[in-house]
Amino acid sequence: MVGTALQRRLIWRTAEVVDLVDETPRVRSLVLAVPGWPGHQAGQHVDVRLTADDGYQTQRSYSIASPPSTDERLTLTIERLDDGEVSPYLAGELHAGDQVELRGPIGGYFVWAPAVGGPLLLVAGGSGLCPLMAMLRLRQAAGSTVPARLLYSSRSLDEVIYRDELNKLVAMENGLEVMLTLTRQQPPGWTGLHRRIDTDMLSAVAWPPAERPWTFICGPTPLVETAANALVNLGHEPARIKTERFGPTGG
Amino acid sequence: MAITEQELRLDGNAAAGLLRDVFVHEFTSVRGACATCGAEGEMGAQHLYMTPLSPGAVLRCATCGSMLMVVVRAGGRFRVGLQGLVWLEMQDEGAAS
């Protein structure tokens, strides 16, 4: 935390792509080496800036999916939006060895660390899982046994990001439960949830309000607002429900 | 296709980079009070309207929807309207913690 507190102005840094991982047909992770990276907290994001040959610049914010570390590396997981301006390049055309400009870490609101405690309720839709994955990875890396539940809405099983890693984390039986809801397409024999996130679902999945969970919700704006409003109606403290809406990102 | 207000809505957290440029301070964990309804909360939890190429941002109260703050970036300057906020409270980073 000291490093981030002392860094006053955000500076643009040159990051080098050191690895690419295809998470799903439309989602790719970029492992970036960022010399001088001061470290980050789980849930923070970076601004990524692209400059065209003619000098035109544009930028987007992406959540950091990797847990805090001291190796001057971070991972961004990016969904390729067909009509997007930035994501088709980042998640389609970049190769290992290429460079991108970024600045960060940014944000001090949508963050979690084991010292914050729990229980922890994480609710995500699509690539909204990324900042929550940083929290789960940190929880694991730190040996935290804070009880955690993830409710993840995905269109299909093939589009579940970090599927193998989530299965492994659950198999460790250290207090993490993962509930999937597959909203568009379910594999044969699927007995799990298969509708959009709603109040009944959250009522069944969420910790009782009396346990005062910390809740982090990230995804498309309608999903985030549906989930946050449902939890408030169920009696959860609004101040313990933190949201990150995608909005009309234009990816 | 019309875009609804809901689809346009973001969290104050999404302006963390812009607000850091303005205030040279991590701003999303700063607390404030709405001048209209009196609600208190972190700036990252308020409603934000901003698009990637927009020359500014509007922060509105998550409780009553009133404007808290407007940031305009133009001509190499920032202009910040703060009339919707009664107070802001932030960590004194020079103080021993």
**Closest CB to B7 among A59, A103, A221:** A221
Q: Do the Cβ atoms of B16 and A45 come within 8 Å? A: yes
Work out the average pLDDT over B35-40. 97
Would you say residue A72 lies in a domain? yes
**Which of the listed residues A82, A106, A130 is the one where a domain comes to its end?**
A106
Last-in-domain residue among A42, A71, A106: A106
Q: Where are the beta strands (DSSP E) in A52-113?
A: 57-63, 73-79, 99-106
* Total CB pairs under 8 A between chain A and B: 81
Q: What digits encode the pLDDT tens for the residues A162-193?
A: 999 999 999 999 999 999 999 999 999 999 99
Any domain includes A250: no
- A58 touches A228 (CB < 8 A): no
Q: Which residue has the higher pLDDT, B51 or B13?
A: B13
On whether residue A48 sits in a domain, the answer given is yes
Number of domains in chain A: 2
Are A124 and A211 members of one domain? yes
Average pLDDT over residues A24-30: 96
What's the pLDDT at B96? 63
ipTM of the complex: 0.88
Residues A130 and A212 in one domain: yes
Look at residues A251, A223, A65 and name the one whose alpha carbon lies nearest to residue B51.
A251
As a whole-number percent, the residues of chain B with pLDDT over 70 amount to 96
Pair (A35, A83) in one structural domain: yes
User: Mind listing the pLDDT tens digit for each residue in A85-116?
Assistant: 899 999 999 999 999 999 999 999 999 999 99
What is the average pLDDT score of chain A?
A: 93
Q: How far is B73 from chain A (nearest CA, A)?
A: 15
Of B14, B24, B45, which has the smallest distance from its Cβ to A242's Cβ? B45
Enumerate the domain spans of chain B: 5-88
pLDDT of residue B74 exceeding 50:
yes
Q: What is the pLDDT of residue A251?
A: 65
pLDDT over 70 at A6, yes or no: no
Query: Distances from the Cα of A178 to the Cαs of A17, A160, A181, A208, in angstroms?
Result: 31, 12, 10, 17
pTM for this structure?
Answer: 0.93
In whole angstroms, what is the distance from residue A76 CA to residue A67 CA?
Answer: 11
Residue A162 CA to residue A243 CA, distance in Å, equals 21
Q: Which of A78, A106, A134 is the last residue of a domain?
A: A106
CATH number at residue A45: 2.40.30.10
Q: Do B51 and A47 touch (CB under 8 A)?
A: no
- Give residue B91's pLDDT: 86
Q: Which residue has the tokens 């009782």?
A: A208
Is A137 a member of any domain?
Answer: yes
Residues A43 and A126 in one domain: no
- In this prediction, residues A212-232 reach a mean pLDDT of 96
- pLDDT over 90 at A126, yes or no: yes
**Structural domain includes residue A251:** no
Query: Is B39 in CB contact (< 8 Å) with chain A?
Result: no
Q: Do B52 and A10 touch (CB under 8 A)?
A: no
Please indicate, yes or no, whether residues A93 and A178 belong to a single structural domain of this protein. Answer: no
Confidence band, pLDDT 50/70/90 cuts, at residue B6: confident
Contact residues for A175 (Cβ-Cβ < 8 A; gap 6+): A145, A146, A147, A148
- Predicted pLDDT at A250: 60
To test the contact with chain A by mutation, choose from B5, B26, B51, B97 the residue with the greatest count of A C-beta atoms within 10 A, namely B26
Cα–Cα distance, B11 to A169 (Å, whole number): 29
Residue A160: CA count within 13 A, CB half-sphere: 22
Share of chain A above pLDDT 90, in %: 88
Give domain status of residue A183, yes or no. yes
